[in-house]
Every structure is written in C-alpha cells, then in structure tokens.
Amino acid sequence: MKLLHTADWHIGRTLNGYSLLNEQKHAFKQILQLAKDEKVDGIVIAGDIYDRSIPGTDAVTTLDSMLREINLTNKIPIYAISGNHDGAKRLNYGREWMEFTNFHLNTLLDEAFTPLETEDTQIFMLPFFDPMDARVYYKEQGMDEDDVKNIHTINDAMELVLADMYKLFAPNKKHLLITHFSVTPSADQEIELTSETSSKVGGLATLTASQFDKFDYVMLGHIHTRFASPSENIRYSGSPIKFNVKEARLKNKGKGVDIVNITPDKITTEFHEIRPQTDLIVLEETWETLLDPTFYKTQPTKSDWFAITVKNFDRSKHINVRAQLQEIYGTVVELDYENLRKDTTAKIADKNISELSPDSIVEQFFQSVTGNDLSKEQKRLVDSIFVDLRKED
C-alpha cells in the first residue's frame, strides 16, 4: 500500500492581509501530480485542512474543487481528519456521501474507532480533540462519572483512546494512525520549530512518541515542518507551503509531502519537495546594502514576496522607505526596522505629548509606524481634517 502523506493545508490563510490561495493552489497541483505519478492508493490529509472554523467562501469553493479533482476526477481515495484549526462539526457536513467514493473523513472523536481495513492494513483516523471532547465521549460510552472527571489533560484522554484502539487491532495486519497533535521524542523535550508549538496553550499539550509505539506508522499533522518528526515511524509531513516569516527563517525550510510505502516487510518514507510559485524571502540588511544593485541583483525575482528588516536604520534621514523597497523587490509583505521600538519611545519622550499640535502627533505616529514621513498630499489631508474638526467645535 502506498500513501501520500500531507497535512496543514490551512486553506483560506492570509499573510499580513495577502491571500495565500494562489500559492496553495499551486502546491496542490504538484501534490495531485505526484499522487498520479506514484499511483498512490490514497492521499492522507492529517488535519488543519481549513485555517479557521468558519472559512471564507473562497476557501470553501477552493477546497471543494481540490477534493473533487483528487477523489472524483482522478478516483484517488482520501483519508482526511480535522485539526485544531478546523471546525469539526461544520467540516463533518456531507461526510457520509463522500464515503461512497472512498473519501474518508473523520472530524469527531466517536468516528475514530472504526478503522479502515484493507487485506493487510488497518488505518485509524483520529481527528484533533480536546479533553472535554473525551469526557463527553466516555460519558456517552457509559463510563463511571468519577472516572470521566479524572480526564484532565490530553495525555489522560489519549491513554484511554489508544487503549480502545489497541483492542481493535487485527493481529496480522499493519496498523497505521493518522492524527493531529504535538508529539515530542520524549517527555522532557519541547519542539521549538514553528509557530504551532505554543505547546501548553489551549489543550495542545504535547504527547510523547512512546505512547504511539504499538502503531507501525503514525502520520501526523499540526507542526508545519517535517524536521519536528519525533521518530522514523512517527512523522510530520509538514505543511506544503510556508505560512509566515518564522517558517521562512528556518534553516531547513524545504516544504513537501511524504510518500509512505507499506509492505509486509517494512515501511519506507520518501520526501518529495513542493516548490513555491511565489517564494517568501527574508532579508535582514542595512539600508545601503538593500539599495545596492550588486546586492539586489543577486536576489530572487520580483514575483517573490519579501519580508525585510532594515538594520541600523536612522529613519529620520529617509522618506518613502516601503515605496523604495517595493520598487526594487516587488511585493514587500513585511517591513521592520531594527531598534524601531527604541526610536519611537525616544521621539515621543522628547516632548510632552500635550505640548505638540494634533497634526504633529499624527505625523510622528505615522513616521514611527511606517518609517516614512507624511507626503505633502497627506499633510494637507491631515491639516484639513483638523480644521474641519475645529469648525465643528
């Protein structure tokens, strides 16, 4: 059995207001092509399919069309679960119709205890859940009230869930698990690789690899880089694209998917890179370097997106900083100045704010935030607004 393992699509996500939908579509095309080339028996999407519980209309129609292309046009089975970003109940809509064409979707805990069976493999699909979901589920299962109340952490809950899964194990089959949690190599290790690892927040406390070792292979979602994989057989595929500057800053930043080959003898993993259409480039340079043609001519093309930090920058000497950089680099999705905070504080502290005229305050605020002076046109506008306000008084 051959599966393509991907996760954390986050359809509908934006980066500082810039839509990532085109980038996500471009990554999807490569994933679909790979699935066809490799003749996989299914595509695993290990949670965080959408970016939020109530996705925008664009996100809904985009996902619908991706799923149709995989499952209806190309007749490739889908094994999908919801992640912490998905609205589990909303995403559940239509699930039973999708089952007819081998689009398997689990979003609720009680759906996790019916493994999908092939001749030699059992696939367990466990969507993201929190301790409260587990309490509700085990209460419905008739568990003793006191025992239910003892489910406090995700570790408490996972222990019960896994024990119930082990009971369903067919002895002569391989056992696969698809799930969406933070899993570390051992209890005292914390992964510090992506923004998704604020590990103790919101019931997202980490689990440890040893908890899952009865499974032959675990396909994870939640952490956006495959380098966070806790072991050879418990793996994150990572997200197919970079979502933010933090992810773009990582040394090992290649994004992609895994092809997982399951044979009676062994299970092997093969990583396949997904190439960005619009890459996210992080630059941290001085103003002089950034404007130096010998530097910027070696940089990627204008069609990429740039996140730029200007080092040792005296903003009082420059105007239209963003405009100048966009002229050279194209789309600047993030612009920072080293020591920005210090400068700002210093300026405002120069004078008691009540001694400044209202238009001077607007001007200084604008400069602090954007690094640019107000243009003549902007100054005129600010002035006229204050004049109008004065008239109203």
Q: Binding residues for a second copy, per CB under 8 A?
A: 54, 57, 60-61, 63-64, 68, 72, 87, 89-90, 92-94, 96-98, 100-101, 103
* Shortest separation between residue 304's beta carbon and a second copy, angstroms: 31
Distance in Å from the first CA to the final CA of the chain: 77
Closest CA to 182 of 162, 203, 205, 160: 205
SS3 48: coil
Q: How many CB atoms lie within 10 A of CB 236?
A: 29
Amino acid at 280: L
Measured between alpha carbons, how far is 162 from 51 in angstroms, rounded to an integer? 27
Q: Do residues 131 and 185 lie in contact, with contact meaning Cβ atoms separated by under 8 Å?
A: no
SS3 49: coil
Q: How many CB atoms lie within 10 A of CB 68?
A: 12
Which is nearer to a second copy, 102 or 372 (by Cβ)?
Answer: 102
Q: Do residues 85 and 180 lie in contact, with contact meaning Cβ atoms separated by under 8 Å?
A: no
Using alpha carbons only, give the angle 27, 58, 100 rounded to the nearest 5 degrees. 75
- Among left, alpha and beta (phi > 0; psi -120 to 50; other), residue 142 is left
Which is nearer to a second copy, 92 or 118 (by Cβ)?
Answer: 92
- Which residue's entry shows tokens 């905070």? 341
Which is nearer to a second copy, 56 or 185 (by Cβ)?
Answer: 56
Which is nearer to a second copy, 54 or 132 (by Cβ)?
Answer: 54
Which is nearer to a second copy, 128 or 243 (by Cβ)?
Answer: 128
Which is nearer to a second copy, 97 or 352 (by Cβ)?
Answer: 97
* Shortest separation between residue 99's beta carbon and a second copy, angstroms: 9
Q: 5 CB contacts (<8 Å, ≥6 apart)?
A: 44, 46, 219, 235, 237, 257, 258, 259, 260
* Shortest separation between residue 92's beta carbon and a second copy, angstroms: 7
Using alpha carbons only, give the angle 69, 70, 74 rounded to the nearest 5 degrees. 85
* Shortest separation between residue 56's beta carbon and a second copy, angstroms: 9
Which is nearer to a second copy, 12 or 256 (by Cβ)?
Answer: 12
* Shortest separation between residue 80's beta carbon and a second copy, angstroms: 13
* Shortest separation between residue 260's beta carbon and a second copy, angstroms: 26
* Shortest separation between residue 205's beta carbon and a second copy, angstroms: 25
Which is nearer to a second copy, 21 or 267 (by Cβ)?
Answer: 21
* Shortest separation between residue 68's beta carbon and a second copy, angstroms: 6
Measured between alpha carbons, how far is 217 from 166 in angstroms, rounded to an integer? 14
Measured between alpha carbons, how far is 244 from 247 in angstroms, rounded to an integer? 5
